[in-house]
Structure 1
Amino acid sequence: FLYLNAKKEPTESTHYTAYKKVLLAMREKPVCIRTLDLGADKLSEELQSSDEKNPVLGLRSIRLTLRNVPLFRTQMRAILRASALGKVQILFPLITTLKELRQAKMLLSDVMEDLEESGIDFDRQIKVGIMAEVPATALLLERFLDEVDFVSIGTNDLIQYTLAVDRSNKDVASMYTASEPAVLRLIRMSIQAADKVNKPVNVCGQMSGNILYTMLLLGFGLRHFSVPPASLLEIKKVISSANIKQ
């Protein structure tokens, strides 16, 4: 949200101040901060791609930040500084290849070294996770799990990329559904892969906030839901009434 409608990129101080407010409000509860998850078309003019014909498949999220390292480092410095104030986790979005993940982690390590040399405190054991929201990642998730602490299954993009449906296009909106067998199989595979190696896994997106899918996800083995505040009470009610053993 710091980037939307901004005339210039947010500074490290702007990031840090925002994260500090969240951490103080959460009162020592864990806070997961996702790195920039927008397309270049949503950023300032200097970062916009002049020939971006399909932003959904183009320069966005982790691809964008790996291309614009100073932008990436600025946010990671702020996240790490904020980690000295509470329980912070860092989440990389739209990871598609191990190369991307390793590049992101290498940059994170570089920022850590810079902070150490400057005597700036941060959590040296900060947990790192990825979004599993591309079929290529979900299919081979076990390879990624060796290098991260947790995974978040992003159902909005996973549905979109699995079914080749632009969720913002009203002409094909009826085809965008979480109930397609291919989508459900990828989600179940991802949950099982994480469970197998005892790595925390959660599901986020519209699907996780829809009570029609709560019991199904529980049946898949999911125990952590990321839901919008408006859906929280409904989802908690369904989960509390469920017999997990059954």
Structure 2
Amino acid sequence: MTNSAQSGLQFSEILKSSSQLSRIQAEIGLVSVDDLLLEIGIHPFAAAYPSDLAEDIQQQLHAKTDGNPAEFFVSALAERLIAAAQKAGPKPLKVRLAGAGSHKRQALLGSELETQEINPLIGKRGVSRWADKVVRKAFELECEAIKRARIAEGMTNIELVIPFVRTFSESATAIDLLAEQGLCRGAHGLRVHLMAELPANALLAEKFLQYFDGLVVDIDQLAQFALGLDQEHPSLEYLHDDQNEAVLALIDHALKAAATVNKPCDLVSHYINKAPNLQLWLLEQQVTTVITQ
């Protein structure tokens, strides 16, 4: 069941915490691995490279993880994905892999292993982070959790959403990296979608869709990059506008590209309740459901 907007749109929900599962009434539109990692409490790099930490931090880490950081990390993430997949029932469960900027993980135990960036908003995110051989093992642990949920526990309704893909080359890299970890697109019905959050993703959606099974358009992120705004900068908040004509043009292009190749295109918006004109415009485009929080 989904919640209805006054305009007639239906809302599904972003799952950010396992605590939502007991009270969620709407359908789960998207699972955010980034947010689940914050709930788990240890940095992926700490799980992958515990010996690189200072001695006192290693002791804290081993105390928290019963002496096995990697297994703790994989088990904790897998358990959350399994619970979400069971809640979704027979319906597909789209899981967005970790792709947020480094600043999002600073509070996690072991975060000092991740280099602080001058501008993490456009730094090493998504595929560029996974492809870095220096930290590849962290990505491998994330994949192991997904495999454990999807294959070992039979939650084959889990589908993947790849965030922050800058180029076609990164699209191919993402698919290859997943295949190397036993998550081959198409195998056991695995569908892999593109998280379209960059203007390039929308403008060149037809070509990006050659690598993916569908789009999940993050309207807020699209607006942020199209208008050159930092959503977390309080003095610029008044400039954020999901109803800007340039943003609507990008969404329209993505919707039409997906329709042309007969692939799904989901939309995500955190501000949809504050944007009545956007709601009406989406309905005019034959959009009936939006993923929100």
Alpha-carbon separation, structure 1, partners of 2:275 and 2:232: 23
Fraction of identical pairs, as percent:
25
Q: Runs ≥4 in structure 1, deviation > 3 angstroms?
A: 207-211
Give the letter for the 2:98 counterpart. Answer: L
Q: Match for residue 49 of structure 1?
A: 115
Q: Match for residue 216 of structure 1?
A: 281
Deviates more, 1:215-224 or 1:187-196: 215-224
Contact 1:13 1:78 in 2 (8 A): yes
- Aligned-partner SS, 1:3: helix
Q: 1:4 aligns with which of 18, 25, 38?
A: 38
Normalised by the length of structure 2, the TM-score is 0.69
Q: Which residues in structure 2 correspond to 1:179-198 (within 5 Å)?
A: 179-198=243-262
2:226 counterpart of 1:162: yes
Alpha-carbon separation, structure 1, partners of 2:240 and 2:148: 39
Alpha-carbon separation, structure 1, partners of 2:265 and 2:36: 26
- Aligned-partner SS, 1:13: helix
Q: Match for residue 88 of structure 1?
A: 158
Q: 1:75 aligns with which of 128, 134, 142?
A: 142
Q: CA deviation at 1:208?
A: 4.3
Gaps of 5+ in 1: 116-121, 229-246
2:93 counterpart of 1:27: no
Deviates more, 1:127-136 or 1:63-72: 63-72
CA change 1:63–1:188 in 2 (3 A) is same
Deviates more, 1:52-61 or 1:128-137: 52-61
Cα shift readout 1:55-89 (whole Å, capped 9, x = no counterpart):
11112233322323211121122213322224110
Q: CA deviation at 1:223?
A: 4.1
Q: CA deviation at 1:176?
A: 0.9
Give the letter for the 1:139 counterpart. Answer: L
Alpha-carbon separation, structure 1, partners of 2:141 and 2:273: 32
Deviates more, 1:68-77 or 1:91-100: 68-77
Q: 1:140 aligns with which of 190, 204, 222?
A: 204
Normalised by the length of structure 1, the TM-score is 0.81
Contact 1:32 1:89 in 2 (8 A): yes
Deviates more, 1:3-12 or 1:104-113: 3-12
- Aligned-partner SS, 1:226: strand
Count of residue pairs brought into register by the alignment: 220
Contact 2:243 2:275 in 1 (8 A): no
Q: CA deviation at 1:135?
A: 0.7
Alpha-carbon separation, structure 2, partners of 1:174 and 1:88: 37
Q: Which residues in structure 2 correspond to 1:89-104 (within 5 Å)?
A: 89-104=159-174
